[in-house]
Amino acid sequence: MNNVGHRHPKVVKAIKEQLEKLIFLNSCDYYTIPQVELAEKLFEITPGKFKKRVFYTNSGTEAVECAIKVARAHTKRFYFIGFINSFHGRTMGSLAFTSTSTTARRGFQPMMPGVVLAPYAYCYRCPLKQEYPSCEVACIDFLRDQILDHIAPPDEVAGILFEPIQGAGGYIVPPKEFIQRLRRIADDNGIVLMDDEIQSGMGRTGRWTAIEHFDVVPDVIMLSKALGAGFPMGACIAREEIMDWPPGAHENTLGGNPVICSASIAVIDVIREERLLEKCGKAGRIPDEKTEGASGGS
């Protein structure tokens, strides 16, 4: 996904300029200026006015793996809650949450233990055969009354991993109160709320992150895809007090590459300078003229 288009001149220029300075440096050993500048921009565009930390990865699934480790390291807990019909990646940790179909899961058991999948708020085809809004978001009640009461004790749950808008599962937008009640469950039980914005982030919904439409601030956010303008780039951004693992607890060699960080900085700059958030939001509100005419227009 290339939200600023292919070969945007500003992105190409940033890449070329960085290539002349430094192509690679192991970010486990040293920081580079593009790394730091990108971190500052990511902290600005992600929800939450608190202090944050970022870990750079090479893909979305790596960002999810990082988030899983962040939650487990911080809480010292075993269980995770995910959602049916979600897609979070195909490495062994993220795969335990991926359930768009059996295709990705077939032949790879056993997966990472401790992941319990709950019904997602797919109100058009409710998995609980309920009608919204009269159901009063019954899927959240199922999570609370069945899963947390009978399967995964809430004081042993490290994190809740979700997509604010399910992507590969069919672009499913849940009711606002679904996400808000997830936040309350997390707050009430000391659970880390983990927001996967790998598909929905970087302006695709008219906001930097889709979670902003729900008036909820997560504890951890994962970005990738459009962030790198086609280069292998991901980021796991967390509250500073949650990403509290000691040095060496999690590393990679190629994450935070200065050339790719420079491309990502340019992506953010282009979205801002060309007012792509506003344009995306406006385009999303344009009615379908054919549908409008078919529904009784003159």
Kindly give the confidence (pLDDT) of every residue in the chain, 298 residues in length, as a single tens digit, with 9 standing for 90 and above. Answer: 789 999 999 999 999 999 999 999 888 788 999 999 999 999 999 999 999 999 999 999 999 999 999 999 999 999 999 999 999 999 999 999 999 999 999 999 999 999 999 999 999 999 999 999 999 999 999 999 999 999 999 999 999 999 999 999 999 999 999 999 999 999 999 999 999 999 999 999 999 999 999 999 999 999 999 999 999 999 999 999 999 999 889 999 999 999 999 999 999 999 999 999 999 988 888 765 444 444 333 2
CA distance linking residue 298 with residue 285, whole number of Å: 21
Residue 290, burial from CB neighbour count under 10 angstroms (0-12, 13-18, 19+): exposed
**Pairing relation of β-strands 115-118 and 192-196?**
unpaired
CA distance linking residue 212 with residue 108, whole number of Å: 35
Q: For position 290, what pLDDT does the model report?
A: 45
Which of 227-246 are b and which e, b meaning 16 or more Cβ less than 10 Å from the residue's Cβ? bbbbbebbbbbbbeebbeee
DSSP class of residue 154 equals G
DSSP for 51-105? -EEEEEESSHHHHHHHHHHHHHHHH---EEEEETT----SSHHHHTT--S-STTT
Number of Cβ within a 10 Å radius of residue 87:
23
Cα 52 → chain centroid: 15
Domains of the chain with bracketed CATH: 9-285 (3.40.640.10)
Residue 213, burial from CB neighbour count under 10 angstroms (0-12, 13-18, 19+): middle
Q: For position 287, what pLDDT does the model report?
A: 66
Q: Which structure tokens are listed for 3?
A: 């939200």
| 261, 98, 180, 279 alpha-carbon torsion, rounded to 10° | 50
Pinpoint the alpha helices (H) of the chain.
Answer: 9-19, 33-45, 60-75, 92-95, 138-142, 148-150, 176-189, 258-273, 276-284, 289-294
φ, ψ of residue 222 in degrees (nearest 5): -110, 130
CA distance linking residue 53 with residue 154, whole number of Å: 26
Q: For position 191, what pLDDT does the model report?
A: 98
Asked if residues 65 and 115 have their Cβ atoms less than 8 Å apart, the reply is no
Q: For position 16, what pLDDT does the model report?
A: 98
Q: For position 168, what pLDDT does the model report?
A: 94
DSSP class of residue 107 equals T
Contacts of 227 (CB under 8 A, 6+ apart): 201, 202, 233, 234, 235, 264, 267
Contacts of 78 (CB under 8 A, 6+ apart): 72, 113, 114, 156, 158
Please identify which residue in the block is written with the tokens 């078919």.
Answer: 294
CA distance linking residue 298 with residue 291, whole number of Å: 12
**Pairing relation of β-strands 157-162 and 52-57?**
unpaired
Q: For position 295, what pLDDT does the model report?
A: 37
DSSP for 25-48? --TTT---HHHHHHHHHHHHHSS-
